[in-house]
Amino acid sequence: MGEQTKMYRDTWAEINLDHISYNVESMKKHVDEGTIVIAVVKANGYGHGDAAVAEAALNAGASCLAVATLDEAMALRKKKIAAPILVMGASRPENAGDAAKENITLTVFQKDWLSAAKGYIKSADTLHIHLKFDTGMGRLGIRSRDELQEIESVIKGDKRFLIEGAFTHFATADSLDNAYFEQQLSRFEEMAGWMEEAPKYVHSSNSAAGLRFPQAHLNAVRMGISMYGLAPSMEMKPELPFPLKEAFSLHTRIAHVKKLHKGEKVSYGATYEAGEDEWIATLPIGYADGWIRKLQGQEVLTEGIRVPIVGRICMDQCMIKLPHEMPVGTQVTLIGEQGGEKIHVDEIAQKLETINYEVTCMVSSRVPRIYKRDGHIIGGVNYLL
């Protein structure tokens, strides 16, 4: 962050870092003093920008970062992020030495992985690891006591490895039916109890469990979606213990305006036909920006009012129907607030029959992210240049 590059197209995502800070501070207040917050910034911070979110989260009280891949962790190190980073997904044993050198913690759940990784870690280095337990997600993790004991026997007395954590992941913590969550939590408590020594961090909670289940906080909460100000599920939305503030918004500016006469058509397939004389504006955003074709018909905000996208969405452009003529350059908000009206990320998710997580992730890297604090741009791309 800090560096501002020039942007030549009027389409951008705005990231409100005050909201990221507020969401992290709220979670910190919500958990016990001995519980740390791990800020989950994988997938480029759920599309918000990994380094900017990481910095904001760390300054607001998060103690550690989590990503999915070693590449993502390395990218953060290149961006001068020095905080502890946990890679939650699988990594190659061949890269264990690189991780150790960069002080990046890896997730381990296979004996063979450890045996192979040994050869790649310098004897003076130590790889910090968190053991992953599969308590019912069926994705990654140790499933039996035998597997754990084999892993512990490979590590025992070997200074190249330090078991710093143990964790699991819930499949249903965002659902109002708690039965499967409770089953997973008690299985995890049982499995963690098998360990020869309790590690420094024992953790299980994603946002949903962090928000709903203090008994699952243990000593770390992995905060993803709620840090971005979004609810883990629609079911949970009315039950949040503190309000969340959305950080992501998406904007563009009208590139062209014309009056179509009754019967004239719009876009590929000529599927939209003006029913009367209509003002149609062209926006410089399309499916290559992640504003996918399924969003045809979705409303956007301009002059604080909702207007529909008409005709097919193109790769780089789409068209909206205006209630009256508006000048080229008029700001259009596709996600976020304008003039007291708001389009939530959840509205776009519902239109696409998906979850809010997918919406911010799918806004492509062609769309520059602009970072704001106190209403001022503090980094990313400066669209005023």
Binding residues for substrate: 139, 315
Among 57, 88, 131, 166, binds ligand PMH (CB under 6 A): 88
Segment lying near ligand PMH (by CB under 6 A), choices 120-128, 188-196, 201-209, 362-370: 201-209
**Is 225 an interacting residue with respect to ligand PMH (CB under 6 A)?**
yes
Closest alpha carbon to 272 in 303, 314, 306: 314
Among 87, 223, 244, 381, binds ligand PMH (CB under 6 A): 223
Among 36, 39, 40, 318, binds ligand PMH (CB under 6 A): 40
Among 44, 135, 207, 233, binds ligand PMH (CB under 6 A): 207
Closest to ligand PMH by CB, 68 vs 162, is 68
Taking the complex as a whole, the smallest distance from the CB of residue 349 to ligand PMH amounts, in Å, to 13
**Is 28 an interacting residue with respect to ligand PMH (CB under 6 A)?**
no
Fill in the amino acid letter for 118: K
Q: Is 268 a catalytic residue?
A: yes
DSSP SS3 for 362: helix
Q: Is 259 a catalytic residue?
A: no
Closest to ligand PMH by CB, 172 vs 333, is 172
Residue from 237, 265, 268, 294 carrying the catalytic annotation: 268
d(CA 269, CA 287) in angstroms, rounded, equals 16
Taking the complex as a whole, the smallest distance from the CB of residue 361 to ligand PMH amounts, in Å, to 9
DSSP SS3 for 226: helix
Closest alpha carbon to 33 in 220, 194, 296, 166: 220
Closest to ligand PMH by CB, 68 vs 314, is 68
Q: Taking a C-beta distance cutoff of 8 angstroms, is the pair 245, 19 a contact?
A: yes
Taking the complex as a whole, the smallest distance from the CB of residue 222 to ligand PMH amounts, in Å, to 4
Among 97, 165, 224, 311, binds ligand PMH (CB under 6 A): 224
Query: Which string of x and - marks every residue 332-361 that binds ligand PMH (by CB under 6 A)?
Result: -------------------------x----
* Tally of residues, the chain: 385
Among 232, 286, 290, 336, binds ligand PMH (CB under 6 A): 232
d(CA 342, CA 339) in angstroms, rounded, equals 8
Query: Which string of x and - marks every residue 120-139 that binds ligand PMH (by CB under 6 A)?
Result: --------------------
**Is 47 an interacting residue with respect to ligand PMH (CB under 6 A)?**
no
Fill in the amino acid letter for 131: L
**Is 229 an interacting residue with respect to ligand PMH (CB under 6 A)?**
no
Find the residue with minimal CB distance to ligand PMH: 224
Kindly determine how many residues on this chain lie close enough to bind ligand PMH according to the rule CB under 6 A. 13
Closest to ligand PMH by CB, 106 vs 309, is 106
Closest alpha carbon to 41 in 60, 16, 69: 69
H or E element in which residue 336 lies: strand 331-338
Q: Taking a C-beta distance cutoff of 8 angstroms, is the pair 233, 174 a contact?
A: yes
Taking the complex as a whole, the smallest distance from the CB of residue 166 to ligand PMH amounts, in Å, to 13
Tokens 């239109």 correspond to 351
DSSP SS3 for 205: strand
Sequence-distant (≥ 6) Cβ neighbours of residue 354 within 8 angstroms = none
Burial class (CB in 10 A: 0-12, 13-18, 19+), 186: exposed
DSSP SS3 for 185: helix
d(CA 369, CA 365) in angstroms, rounded, equals 9
Taking the complex as a whole, the smallest distance from the CB of residue 225 to ligand PMH amounts, in Å, to 4
Closest to ligand PMH by CB, 169 vs 372, is 169
Residue from 42, 118, 321, 372 carrying the catalytic annotation: 42
- Helix residue ranges per DSSP H, the chain: 17-30, 42-46, 50-59, 70-78, 96-101, 111-118, 145-155, 179-193, 207-212, 345-351, 356-362
Tokens 């791309």 correspond to 381
Catalytic residue list: 42, 268
Residue ranges in contact with ligand PMH by CB under 6 A? 40, 88, 169, 206-208, 222-226, 232, 357
